[in-house]
Structure 1
Amino acid sequence: MIRRLVAEWLGTFSLLATVVGSGIMAERLADGNVAIALLGNTIPTGAILVVLIMVFGPISGAHFNPAVTLSFALRRELQARTAGLYVAVQVFGGICGVLAAHIMFDNPLFDPSTTARTGIGQWVGEFVATFGLVGTILACVKNRPEAVPVAVGLYITAAYWFTSSTSFANPAVTIARGFSDTFAGIAPSHVLAFVLVQLVAAFLATLFFGWLLEDEAAANGGTG
């Protein structure tokens, strides 16, 4: 269990260090071009997800995301106590990753975001992003488990661009990004709504994909 928790902490730490660090770097180099800055934030995020899931997947399952942990707990593939510990270390690891990025780029260590991310469009974007992410993971785990790292990395890369919220899709990421007044930040007062939408989306995605991916024999009461 200790190794699993360390893997979840380090994985989420590394994810947030990448998200925030690449956001700072991209904004500094883009010379005001927001599209280029977003691209510079997107590619490292998708790439690091592939790496982190490959590295830590065999140890902890590589959740790095309370929404994913919730899904596996609902499916009874993770005990409630373990799920709670996962979420705690994910949130803590994410905040530590943000602080590490601030240190690397000489930003103030504690620098709450002032970036407004709120409103129905943003919330729908987060719902779509999280629902799709959980669905991608569940479908791949069932049918193509070896494809999970690449599928998740590609999904998040795409969702950065097709969702209005730029696809946080992760309560730990959302909370941590509230601590960073940078390109990747979100105002702390807007964090709760994002997290609630993400959790609702994860819950509904778990139910929907549980039905969609159910074995035919199980669906017919085991008669085949």
Structure 2
Amino acid sequence: MPVSVLLVDDDALVRAGLRAILAAQPDIEVVGEAADGAAVIPLVRRLAPDVVAMDVRMPLMDGIEATRAVLRAFAPPPKILVVTTFEEDRYVYGALRAGADGFLLKRARPAEIVHAVRLVAEGESLLFPAALRSLAAGHANEEARAALAAARLTDREGEVLRLIARGLTNAEIAAELVLGTETVKSHVSALLSKLGARDRTQAVITAYESGFVAPGGAG
């Protein structure tokens, strides 16, 4: 089955460009479009997309509120890929904290856009470590520290979390740690459960906000 995608952006030219790029792929199908976040809920209910490519700044309901609304309304929800002009936009961090699975720059090359949709559809994070470090700076909080302390991650789970924060996929983590991919998946599932994180993106945000990974450190 192809990956089904809903495009949400108030710029018709952006939607047309994304549609042309994605529709050219045999394993991706664009099932619908919307010009504002306010239209997302009924479209997701009707079309059941695998991925929602969501603009972060829209006039009636922005991508942050639309992301929250989708996560409240559907179980399981579609993957949400925030589409933005600026990688250090504070709106992007708000969307990631709200539950988006990653973000994509509008200036990305067609191959990068296709890769992003496929990656998110498969359950991987789509993060830009340097940008996320910048976005996370100044967001340290006690709630995240408490969540990290209560999680009692094993040393191996901690290693895996640091590598996720660097933007590595499961396969790349497996190569880095000389482990099987299924073993890495088990570690990822365990640390997500312990952190109470919905997905890898939420775990990375907790890692930064708790100080477990330093925003100013090497990615």
Band the TM-score falls in, shorter-chain normalisation: under 0.3
Greater RCO structure (CA 8 Å; 6+ sep) = 1
* Larger fraction in strand: 2
TM, length-normalised to structure 2: 0.24
